[in-house]
Homo-oligomer: A and B are copies of this chain.
Amino acid sequence: MAERKRPRRTRERILGTALLLFNGAGEPNVTTADIADEMEISPGNLYYHFRNKDEIIAELFAGFERSLDSLLASPEGRSAGVEDLWFLLHLLFEAMWDHRFLFRDLDDILSRNRKLASRFALIMRRGARTVIELCRSLVATGAMDASQHEIAALADNVAIVATYWISYQKISAGERAAETVSLDRAAYQVLSLIAPFLRGDARALLVRLSRDYL
């Protein structure tokens, strides 16, 4: 019975090791040979499970998609509050941090793989739509004061800052600093986009919540 389980475990170990190495060194700097080496298995054993690195990346990306699936679902029934926004960002950045190799070399990875690129575009559009829905809900309860135009522009800006924060840090602070990127700071940056549109208690609450991030 232990024998029957082995292939699955090896497959999962390959994914786990690849994720660790990609996140640590950057995906372009890690080969399938490096992954096999790190696991002390033969390259042949690795190729039995994945034909090439892009197949490993696609599987890791599917994991990222699954972790976002529940997050980007519309809020259920009740109106959203500032806490929902804060909680959503918290979970979103946790999922991004777990798969940070994607965001360190996003253009590079997506330009090699059109299927991945269109799946990523879908995630971005869903993310922007979720922000729009949350904002509309906040406007309906009086916690936010923003026009439809302002909300649309805000949703794009949230998607851009969230997606490119890691890349921006890498470019502006240099390669050495890539490992010290703070996703808490990313959450703070996104909250700073939304804060000016909040009113009264909602704004005070956001200021208090975002203090934890600095």
**A159 smallest CB distance to B (angstroms):** 7
Are B159 and A161 in contact, with the CB atoms below 8 A? Answer: no
Are B157 and A189 in contact, with the CB atoms below 8 A? Answer: yes
**A179 smallest CB distance to B (angstroms):** 16
Residue A65 is within 8 A (CB to CB) of chain B in the complex: no
Residue A86 is within 8 A (CB to CB) of chain B in the complex: no
**A155 smallest CB distance to B (angstroms):** 11
Q: Which residues of B contact A105 (CB under 8 A)?
A: 107, 111
Q: How far is the CA of A28 from the CA of B108 in the complex (A)?
A: 10
Q: A107-B170, A124-B171, A125-B172 are in contact. List 19 more A-B contacts (CB 8 A).
A: A105-B111, A106-B107, A107-B108, A114-B175, A117-B174, A121-B173, A150-B195, A153-B192, A157-B192, A159-B168, A159-B172, A160-B160, A160-B164, A160-B165, A163-B164, A163-B168, A164-B164, A193-B193, A196-B197
Are B28 and A118 in contact, with the CB atoms below 8 A? Answer: no
Q: How far is the CA of A176 from the CA of B73 in the complex (A)?
A: 28
Residue A154 is within 8 A (CB to CB) of chain B in the complex: yes
Known: A193-B193, A196-B196. A28 touches B171 (CB 8 A): no
